[in-house]
């Protein structure tokens, strides 16, 4: 072989080797992509299963607690003097702490994200997040209703009880660990005219929201608020003997 033939042969071998390496790299990338997608899918499935298991356990605890409560009621009504009075007191206590559905006069407040606002229509000093409902807005409304004498409150059918938390995780709001989203429907039972006046007074909370959010407040003679479906427990409180 002369030098020219050797050079051509080496060139062809280098070309074949390069093509083989490129094919191998592409195969590895494709395999990694499939593995990554499979891992993400498995991870999400594991998270869903964990949350479902947590929900099922809590729901089972609730069912057991309700069964125990009903058994206690039945025994008390059969064997204890003054059982009717105690049963009535127990029902009132359940109403107060949020363990029964309730109805009565009150108000309904709706807060919505202002989706008509876009980043292009804002000034340099403004922030598009101002036009979204935040957990602090919901907390402010709940506090205003409590100050106005509300006897029962719910947000998107999540009953507000003593251990209710209204949190924000990224762009998700949770009430009683349940995800909720706009529109936020807040119901309150109490003196409807007094609560309406407290919310809509000049300089009040609804007026401040109207600069950014979409709001409405209505009085009603017949509002139904569902019971709290979680478990209310105490770790540190004890009876005084």
Highest mean pLDDT among 141-145, 232-236, 237-241: 141-145
Domain that holds residue 183: 103-225
Reported as half-sphere exposure (CB side, CA atoms, 13 A), residue 223 has a value of 25
Confidence of residue 28 (pLDDT cuts 50, 70, 90): low
Cβ–Cβ under 8 Å, residues 206 and 214 = no
Kindly state whether residue 33 falls inside one of the protein's structural domains: no
Of residues 101 and 33, the one with the higher pLDDT is: 101
pLDDT of residue 5: 56
DSSP letters for the chain: --HHHHHHHHHHHHHHHHHHHHHHHHHHHHHHHHHHHHHHHHHHHHHHHHHHHHHHHHHHHHHHHHHHHHHHHHHHHHHSTTHHHHHHHHHHHHHHHT-S-EEEEEEEEEEE--TT--GGGS-TT--GGGGS--HHHHHHHHHHHHHTT-SEEEETTEE--TT--EEEETTEEEETTEEE-SSEEEEEES-HHHHHHHHHSTTSHHHHHTTTSEEEEEEEEEEEEPPP-S----SS-----
Percent of the chain residues past pLDDT 70, beyond the cut: 65
pLDDT of residue 232: 79
Mean pLDDT (whole number) for 56-74: 70
Confidence of residue 85 (pLDDT cuts 50, 70, 90): confident
- Determine which of 44-53, 71-80, 107-116 has the lowest per-residue pLDDT on average: 71-80
pLDDT of residue 17: 62
Kindly state whether residue 58 falls inside one of the protein's structural domains: no
Kindly state whether residue 200 falls inside one of the protein's structural domains: yes
Return the CATH number at 219. Answer: 3.30.70.1880
Asked whether residue 102 carries a pLDDT value surpassing 90, the answer given is yes
Asked whether residue 141 carries a pLDDT value surpassing 90, the answer given is yes
Kindly state whether residue 172 falls inside one of the protein's structural domains: yes
Asked whether residue 143 carries a pLDDT value surpassing 80, the answer given is yes
Mean residue pLDDT across the chain: 80
Domain count along the chain: 1
Cβ–Cβ under 8 Å, residues 147 and 141 = no
pTM score above 0.75? no
Distance between CA atoms of residues 1 and 10, nearest Å: 12
Kindly state whether residue 36 falls inside one of the protein's structural domains: no
pLDDT for 153-195, tens place per residue?
Answer: 999 999 999 899 999 987 789 999 999 999 999 999 999 999 9
pLDDT of residue 115: 84
Kindly state whether residue 75 falls inside one of the protein's structural domains: no
Of residues 80 and 24, the one with the higher pLDDT is: 24
pLDDT for 89-98, tens place per residue?
Answer: 777 778 888 8
pLDDT of residue 6: 55
Mean pLDDT (whole number) for 111-124: 75
- In DSSP terms, 108 is beta-bridged to 187, 218
Highest mean pLDDT among 66-70, 79-83, 153-157, 236-240: 153-157
Kindly state whether residue 85 falls inside one of the protein's structural domains: no
Kindly state whether residue 66 falls inside one of the protein's structural domains: no
């Amino acid at each position: 072989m002369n030098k020219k033939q050797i050079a051509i042969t080496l060139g062809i071998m280098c070309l074949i080797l390069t093509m083989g390496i490129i094919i191998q790299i592409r195969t590895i990338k494709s395999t990694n992509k499939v593995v990554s997608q499979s891992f993400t899918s498995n991870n999400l499935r594991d998270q869903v299963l964990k949350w479902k298991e947590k929900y099922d356990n809590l729901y089972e605890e609730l069912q057991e607690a309700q069964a125990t409560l009903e058994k206690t009621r039945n025994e008390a009504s059969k064997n204890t003097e003054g059982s009717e009075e105690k049963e009535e007191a127990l029902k009132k206590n359940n109403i107060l702490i949020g363990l029964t559905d309730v109805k009565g006069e009150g108000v309904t407040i709706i807060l919505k994200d202002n989706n008509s606002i876009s980043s292009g229509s804002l000034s340099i000093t403004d922030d598009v997040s101002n036009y979204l409902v935040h957990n602090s807005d919901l907390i402010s409304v709940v506090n205003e209703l409590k100050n106005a004498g509300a006897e029962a409150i719910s947000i998107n059918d999540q009953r507000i009880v003593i251990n209710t938390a209204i949190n924000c995780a990224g762009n998700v709001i949770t009430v009683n660990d349940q995800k909720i989203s706009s529109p936020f429907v807040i119901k309150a039972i109490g003196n409807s005219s007094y609560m309406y006046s407290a919310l809509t007074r000049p300089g009040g909370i609804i007026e401040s929201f109207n600069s950014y959010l979409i709001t409405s407040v209505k009085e009603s003679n017949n509002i139904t608020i569902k019971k709290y479906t979680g478990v209310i427990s105490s770790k540190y409180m004890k009876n005084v003997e």
